[in-house]
Structure 1
Amino acid sequence: MAEVRKRVAVLGAGPVGRATAAYLAHYDHDAGIWSPSGRGTAPLMARAGGLGKGVIEYRGALEGRVEVDVLRSPDALAAYEVIVVAFPGHAYDRVLPLVLPRIESRHIVIVSGALSLVPLWLYEQAGNGTARPLVASWGTTLATARRSERADVEIGSVRARFDVAAIPAAAADAALACCQGLFGDRFDLAPSILATAISSVNPVAHAAEALPNLTRMERGEDWYLFECMTPAAARLAEAIDAERLEIAQALGLKVRSLATHYQLSYHVPLATVAEMAAAIHARDRAPLGPRTAEHRYVLEDMPYGLVFYEMLARTAGIAVPVMSAAITLACAAYGRDFRRENRLIDLLRLEGLGPAGLLARCAG
């Protein structure tokens, strides 16, 4: 039961958005959900019979059936106290401009699995650049979630611990209190939204899962994600992750390793990435890997994950040869330049700031 019931709008009706809205409603908060195209909420509304309501059926780590409000447009955000941004990175520059004018200074905005310093963009551009709301940045998502034939969303696990930071940094305690009130005691306070930006291990893990399995993805084959995190793929993940950790250290920050993330997200003993992946697969035999090459594991996590980390490495003055090679391989395989697809780097004018300037700007 929620100690203080809040009205929370979840932006995005994919697996993560549905899981987040379901969790909130499951624990007695008034949850609303918005799909930019309307496709993500159409089946939820059909089950509820319309009238601005939707029903989410969810299975897995959390199970049930809850009713939520369906937002028809960003104008409806006026009725909510908290906004959770839960759509993929490659939708940021397309969808957020529809939302930014509707965000007010009274809102608390939570960015789930924040990539590429999008919390900074939200903070600086909300309310046509005048609102300056409190923005909480999560290093990852509340839960692992996927589409399912058995329910609207299959919740693989609810994460035990993950990082949250705030902009302005001076309001970090208020951001932490809000997150804990809505989602429980699972948050560790990070010193900067830059730390939560570097905390995301999805770009690391997904590169090591997708690149060695591109032919499986292209051919639409069934393959288990963690079964195919073989020792060779795991070594690739660990090498990219070591460079991510080095970037954080060079910027005076500390973030969790991929192995520690697996321990906290999938509840397996700490070991090598290959051993942990094998343990997850032996226990769960899930999830299946992508059955298409046109998947966020590459389309989101290359430009908004690894390309962003590569930019931070330039800012910190260090080389990341394995990470850079992974990006170049993905560009060659897809016939496109992922290094030019992250518009946030240009919109935020991040290049050339230097470590001190970047950290100061992230403080708000």
Structure 2
Amino acid sequence: MGSIAVIGAGNVGQAVAGHMTLRGHDVRLYSPWPSEFEPIDARGGIELTGDAEGTALPALLTTELDKAVDSVDVIVVAAPAFAHRTLARELAEVVEAEQLVLYQPSALGSGLELARSFAQMNRTPCLIAETATSLYTCRLQGPAQVFLGRIKPSVRFASTPYGAVNDVQQRLSRYFDDRFIPDADALTVGLSRIGAVYHVPPALFNLKSVEDGARLPHNTLATPRISELIDALDQERVNLASRLGVAAITFEEFMTRSYGVTEGTLPERIQKSYGPLNFPEPDSVKHRYFTEDIPFSMVVWSSLAKQIGLPMPLTDSVIKISSVLCGQDWYANARTVEELGLVGANAEEIKSAFLTGRRS
């Protein structure tokens, strides 16, 4: 039996905590809000349906981060990307060098941000692992009720430092079998996070149904023309990766890896991949498809691109249009080269920082 702390009690956090408890591990679930534990206590655990089924009560539900992570083997960060900056500082204060922090999923630069926080506190950094997508495709369907639409057969991860990848994989296999597959490095993984490509265009350009609260299946909003926009945005992201010296997967490759879809036009592949899950579109402009995917994916791409002189006109346009429609300045609290300590870095120096967790 292993010991694991799960940071965040949303969709993924409850999925991980419930599944790991069902598998017999000592699980501690952390949230800063005690109200998130009330339905778990009332139900007697987290009820899972779908790819794994059962009701499981983690060994500890706590609002104290130090108690959650004390002496555990693996710490899974299942909080939204906008919480990663604060969590990086808090984790760097209490996590020890021999522990492993797994971002599930990460956002481009989350691991680098954590490594920088350790350095700023003059502490030896822990091992860090990042994925571009969650192992669990899931949704909360009610209080303490999680539907696991799919536990993906495999998910690529990167370690920081990159030389620790074998150690990290061995640790993760203790909990997740052999589902975590090593990728090249944290920059490759970060730029392979495709959520914004699929989430933002259908929601943004079907904003009436979002504002009306129609809750249509998100995959049905990816019309042929909107799919053209998805593909064009995806190409800008892949081009950025290439200029930075890494090979990010395309959206189509992601659907093949995650859902086994290999044929059809892009709209057809989207329907085959996401249709069976039937997840709804956002219910407001405060949904994470806007508040997370734009400032912590698209703005990061744009910031890195500007740093190396690469135009990303379509990405920049979507950021600006969505800022107006959502009434938000996405640049105000986004992750940028300034936040990551990469101002003035060239492409080679950016890649090196992601490999090592520090700027050379």
Equivalent residue runs for 1:153-168 within 5 Å: 153-168=146-161
Preserved CA contact (<8 Å) 1:259 1:270: no
Say whether residues 1:268 and 2:272 are aligned partners: no
Preserved CA contact (<8 Å) 1:34 1:41: no
Question: Distance between the aligned counterparts of 1:259 and 1:322, measured in 2?
Answer: 19
Equivalent residue runs for 1:1-364 within 5 Å: 5-48=1-44, 55-68=45-58, 69-76=60-67, 77-126=69-118, 128-149=121-142, 152-280=145-273, 284=276, 286-343=278-335, 345-364=337-356
- Note closer, same or farther for the CA distance 1:345–1:59 as it changes in structure 2 (3 Å cut): farther
- SS of the aligned residue for 1:157 comes to strand
- Note closer, same or farther for the CA distance 1:89–1:278 as it changes in structure 2 (3 Å cut): same
Question: Distance between the aligned counterparts of 2:133 and 2:271, measured in 1?
Answer: 22
Which whole-Å deviations, capped at 9, do the CAs of 1:51-102 have from their partners, x for residues lacking one?
A: xxxx110112221111202123012111311101110011223444333311
Question: Distance between the aligned counterparts of 2:128 and 2:259, measured in 1?
Answer: 27
- SS of the aligned residue for 1:208 comes to helix
Question: Distance between the aligned counterparts of 2:193 and 2:289, measured in 1?
Answer: 13
- SS of the aligned residue for 2:169 comes to helix
> How many residues of Structure 1 are paired with residues of Structure 2 in the alignment?
353
Question: Distance between the aligned counterparts of 1:157 and 1:129, measured in 2?
Answer: 41
Question: Distance between the aligned counterparts of 1:194 and 1:202, measured in 2?
Answer: 16
- Note closer, same or farther for the CA distance 1:266–1:39 as it changes in structure 2 (3 Å cut): farther
- SS of the aligned residue for 2:214 comes to coil
- Note closer, same or farther for the CA distance 1:192–1:280 as it changes in structure 2 (3 Å cut): closer
Structure 2 unmatched ranges of 5 or more: none
Preserved CA contact (<8 Å) 2:129 2:157: yes
Which whole-Å deviations, capped at 9, do the CAs of 1:138-190 have from their partners, x for residues lacking one?
A: 12111111120386211111122221111111211111222222212223322
Question: Distance between the aligned counterparts of 2:151 and 2:284, measured in 1?
Answer: 26
The Cα of 1:29 is off from its aligned counterpart by: 1.9
- SS of the aligned residue for 1:203 comes to helix
Question: Distance between the aligned counterparts of 2:66 and 2:176, measured in 1?
Answer: 25
Preserved CA contact (<8 Å) 2:2 2:174: no
In angstroms, what is the RMSD of aligned CA positions?
Answer: 1.9
- Note closer, same or farther for the CA distance 1:303–1:61 as it changes in structure 2 (3 Å cut): same
The AA in structure 1 aligned to 2:17 is A
The Cα of 1:244 is off from its aligned counterpart by: 0.9
Question: Distance between the aligned counterparts of 1:328 and 1:65, measured in 2?
Answer: 44
- Note closer, same or farther for the CA distance 1:363–1:264 as it changes in structure 2 (3 Å cut): closer
Q: Which has the larger displacement, 20-29 or 120-129?
A: 120-129
Which whole-Å deviations, capped at 9, do the CAs of 1:232-273 have from their partners, x for residues lacking one?
A: 121111111111111111112112211121223233334332
The Cα of 1:343 is off from its aligned counterpart by: 4.6
Structure 1 unmatched ranges of 5 or more: 49-54
The Cα of 1:314 is off from its aligned counterpart by: 2.1
Q: Which has the larger displacement, 13-22 or 334-343?
A: 334-343
Question: Distance between the aligned counterparts of 2:37 and 2:88, measured in 1?
Answer: 18
